Amino acid sequence: MSLSSHLIATAGGSVPSGSQLWSCLAARIPGRRTPSRTWLSYLLLTAVLSVPGPGAQAQDVTAELPTSSEALERGSRLFLAQCSRCHGAAGTGGEGPALNRPVLHSAPDDATLVSVIQGGIPGTDMGGAWNMLPEDARQVAAYVRSIGRTAVVVLPGDPAAGEALFQESDCLSCHIVSGQGDGIGPELTDVGARRGAEHLRQAIVDPGRARPSAIATMGTSGFEGYLPVRAVLQDGSTVYGMRINEDDYTLQLRDDAGGLHSFRKDELQSIERDLEASLMPSYDGVYTPAELDDLIAYLASLRGAS
């Protein structure tokens, strides 16, 4: 039984009083004889917010999305406040994929889109908007569908020329595309479906700022991946590489030549984490503006298996 359901049952089927809530919460906390009032207050607020009000009905996510101008305007404001950081103010993409297209790979229908907004997509940067009410999520979904009906912006550049440049620059020595290449860096097979054009540009000219976020790269160890780390040994020598795993006692790195290194933390002088850096070099000034457009057009065309 959920906490909110238990609270209602405790109150005889009605919304419980404050004293009933407090007594019930204190009794339900395992292993705590005298729980702190601060912690109980947090649980109390969570429980009250999850208790449905009188006459409340569950939202049907399979119902048609709202189409009124008021709903779309509110969906636009919610999107700007909670979604634009990753998807761009107009849904044109950024750290997250562009949403201004008719078909979304991870949300082919409206019910799935609402579900993704609320619950996210496990194993990706897309986290759920847990604090968004069901009707709010439906309004955001309606707004996303509305921008998907606008004309798609065609990127400058020639994807074929960009692919040739990608091959010439030996990018496959660190990245994998459709099974080809090495996996030191992020796989790019579907990068065009996950990243917007501006983020791709930044990843090429300023890769430290565009390094994949912790949400997408968090492994079972709970540590962010693709993070450059310098391990200083007891003799003063250093090993610099990309962290591939870390726990409370050990650290594993892969250097830029692909070599693997494993250390016990108590055998190291220090561990230096370069939070603003990337093992990928900057190509700012290496390519002409036209070549950069070609390379971005190619990367944007990589959308995985169709």
Q: Crossing angle, helix 134-147 and helix 110-119, to 10 degrees? A: 120
Confirm whether 159-210+281-301 and 214-273 share one CATH topology.
no
Cα dihedral 259/188/84/135 (nearest 10):
-110
Query: Which of 66 and 209 is assigned the larger pLDDT?
Result: 66
Q: Is 268 exposed, middle or buried (0-12, 13-18, 19+ CB in 10 A)?
A: middle
Is 69-147 a CATH 1.10.760.10 domain? yes
Q: What are phi and psi of 282, to 5 degrees?
A: -80, 140
Taking the domains of the chain in order of start, what are their residue ranges?
Answer: 3-50, 69-147, 159-210+281-301, 214-273
Question: Which 3-state string (H, E, C) describes 79-95?
Answer: HHHHCHHHHCCCCCCCC
Cβ atoms 306, 189 nearer than 8 A = no
Q: Which of 226, 170, 198 is nearest to 85 (CA)?
A: 198
- Give the model's confidence band at 151: pLDDT under 50 very low, under 70 low, under 90 confident, else very high: low
Q: Who has greater pLDDT, 216 or 149?
A: 149
**So what's the pLDDT on residue 224?**
60
Of 24-33, 232-241, 263-272, give the lowest mean pLDDT range. Answer: 24-33
In sequence order, the 6+-apart residues with CB closer than 8 A to the CB of 229 are: 240, 241, 242, 243, 251, 253, 271, 272, 273, 274
Of 61-65, 226-230, 295-299, which has the strongest mean pLDDT?
A: 295-299
Q: Which CATH class is domain 159-210+281-301?
A: mainly alpha
> In whole numbers, what is the pLDDT of the chain averaged over residues?
78
Task: Using alpha carbons, select from 223, 210, 213 the residue that is nearest to residue 271.
Answer: 223
Q: Which amino acid is at 89?
A: A
pLDDT 10s digits, 242-290: 898 888 999 999 888 888 999 999 999 999 998 888 888 899 999 999 9
Question: What is the topology classification, in CATH, of domain 214-273?
Answer: SH3 type barrels. (2.30.30)
Query: Is residue 36 scored above 80 in pLDDT?
Result: no
CA dihedral sign, ordered 78, 84, 87, 92? positive
- Say if strands 268-273 and 228-233 run parallel, antiparallel, or are unpaired: antiparallel
Structure tokens at 272: 């230096």
Query: Tens digits of per-residue pLDDT, 51-65?
Result: 444 443 444 555 689
Asked if the model's pLDDT at residue 49 lies above 80, the reply is: no
Helices (H) and strands (E) in the chain, counts: 12, 7
The 10 Å Cβ neighbour count of residue 226 is 20
pLDDT digits (tens, 9 = 90+) for 85-120: 888 888 878 778 888 777 788 888 999 999 999 999
Residue 9: pLDDT above 60? no
By residue count, the chain amounts to: 306
d(CA 65, CA 70): 13
At residue 42 the predicted structure's pLDDT band, cuts being 50, 70 and 90, is very low
Residues 278, 273: Cα–Cα separation, whole Å: 11
Single out the residue of 208, 163, 206 nearest to residue 188, CA to CA: 163
| pLDDT computed for residue 92 by the predictor | 78
6 has pLDDT over 60:
no
Mind listing the pLDDT tens digit for each residue in 168-207? 999 998 899 999 998 788 889 988 877 788 889 999 999 8
| pLDDT reading at 45 higher than 80 | no
- State the Cα–Cα distance between residues 272 and 182, nearest whole angstrom: 26
Instruction: Give the CB-side neighbour count of residue 108, counting CA atoms within 13 A.
Output: 1
Q: Which two tokens stand for residue 136?
A: 């709010």
